[in-house]
Amino acid sequence: MKNKLTNIIFILSFLACMIVPAIFMNTKEMQISEIDNKLLAEWPGLDLTLQNNTEVEAYLNDRVGFREQAIEAYTVLNDKLFHVMVHPLFMYGKEGHIYYKDPTYIKGYQHMNTDEAYLDTFADFLKKTNDYLEEKDIRFLYFLCPDKKTIYPEYFPASIHVNDANPGITDYMKEKLDVSGIDYIIPVDELKAAKSEKVVYNRLYDATHWNEDGAFVGHKLIDKKIQEYFDDVKPLTEDDYDRETVHRDTLDVAKFTIDEDIPHYSLKTDLSNDMTTYLYDSMEYEDNTFYSHFVDPECGNNRVLLVFCDSYFGNYHKFYQDRFKEVYFVHWHNYKYLQYYVNLFFPDMVIYETAERSIAGEMIGERDEDGKRISTIEYEGVYYEEPYYISADVDKEAARTYGSTDGIEPDAAAHVGYVITEVRGVERDGTTLLLNVNEGSNVIKINGYVESLDGDEYDVYANIGGEQWVECNFWKLKELSDEAGFDQFSVNLQRRYAYEETITLVAVSRSTGKVYLLDDLDIKYV
């Protein structure tokens, strides 16, 4: 009888282990796991042919009840009993240091994914970006953020070895940038020197980034460049910040118990205004992560800073927001929109930052079975519409065009035609743009396309109020034009910069440089 009861209890327990997790499956959409910081698989739908059985299996594995608790218990037991880290994202190094466990990250440490051809393309992008900005009298600085494994290689797992026959990514980029003529910072030596006095990458918390002491070292190097460029921007100094330590009991992006105090800097006095929401819904982007915008009219200068960044810089606008009149941070994934932002923000300086692990990972990508590199980050084919500086008083005799702004019929002798397809932020009445200063989107946008009538190719430019010339094309828009089969243009102006003035649209021949008036659009307040 006793054995029979034991068997019944065992069977019921076994059935409970099978049924209860199924009952408590997480079926909500767009769920992120706290334990491994990943988006859980979505239900692929029913397929009677079982062609999607792999997707179904992934869904069941991710959504089964008590998954988080089971993984956490398994992880904790291995950590406490054997000091072994079985976490899907991280691993232990020497002396208990935690490192990122992504395969591309490890290959980067081993010098096994230094794709020289790709890095050459990336360096070429940086050089062309510098040349474009230099022509507009805008300072450019590239910053490469080293990984923890590069600054603290002595604690990386001893079982993982480096192929010294191959160059590392930071060394190769230094070699390329040294001959490029552009300003850059790759602070490997400086961070290694600083670590003799302070911890610049935490032992445990946030294994993929420097800590705020390390960040301050890096941004002080940027400030050294800024002081060379601009004598009216106040220096970055520790005296303006309160430094404190804060306690962390779990990893930053995953549920794993730790015990560590980390540094944190906060501005003692912050007079800047957070304007992040002002353009957020009106501007174009590929990735709006890390976007921020601050304005400080009392900073003592009229400088505007534009920073292309990733998570290494994403929270460090605090080192700039009280030192520049305006500061914009956007994700570097928006690299094809760089010219668009330049003509929307009018920066005095552009900083382009990438993390070493991004170069080793998402930028370079993996290779398929045929050896072809797979990456969504393609710097090849860089396009910037050339800046053009001409008098706002366009030669009307040379400006023989036709358009649809007010129903003009084509001129038989026209060289170029144009069509305005969309206007946002204002109401259009023929050639008049009616601006309500209290309503509408915060970016005035005029979209259209040009059509060559004489076989020539044309670039479109806009003059704002007789003073500022802006380019009306950018890399992403050119790609869209190539796909559509016609040359599109886009004029973008922040509403707060719009006065009762004239926007003059012109087309410039690429072969002769001759200027043709497309239209004079007059902004009027209503």
Predicted confidence (pLDDT) per residue in 444-481, tens digit: 999 999 999 888 999 999 999 888 899 999 999 999 99
According to the model, what pLDDT value does residue 502 have?
Answer: 94
Q: How many residues does the chain have?
A: 526
CB contact at 8 A, 145 and 316 = no
285/287 Cα distance (integer angstroms): 6
Please list, in sequence order, all residues whose beta carbon lies within 8 angstroms of the beta carbon of residue 8, skipping any fewer than 6 positions away. none
According to the model, what pLDDT value does residue 408 have?
Answer: 44
Parse the chain into domains and list their residue ranges. Answer: 24-88, 90-158+166-374, 396-525
**What is the overall mean pLDDT for the chain?**
87
pTM for the structure as a whole: 0.85
Predicted confidence (pLDDT) per residue in 122-149, tens digit: 999 999 999 999 999 999 999 999 999 9
301/307 Cα distance (integer angstroms): 18
Q: Which CATH number fits domain 396-525: 3.30.450, 2.20.28, 3.30.70, 2.60.40?
A: 2.60.40
Q: Supply the DSSP string of 13-24, one letter for each residue.
A: HHHHHHHHHHHT
Buried b (16+ CB within 10 A) or exposed e, 178-209: eeeebbbbbbbebbeebbeeebbbbbbbbbbb
Pairing between strand 401-402 and 416-424?
parallel
Evaluate if residue 406 carries a pLDDT over 50. no
37/254 Cα distance (integer angstroms): 6
For 83-187, where are the alpha helices, taking DSSP H only? 103-110, 116-135, 148-151, 169-178
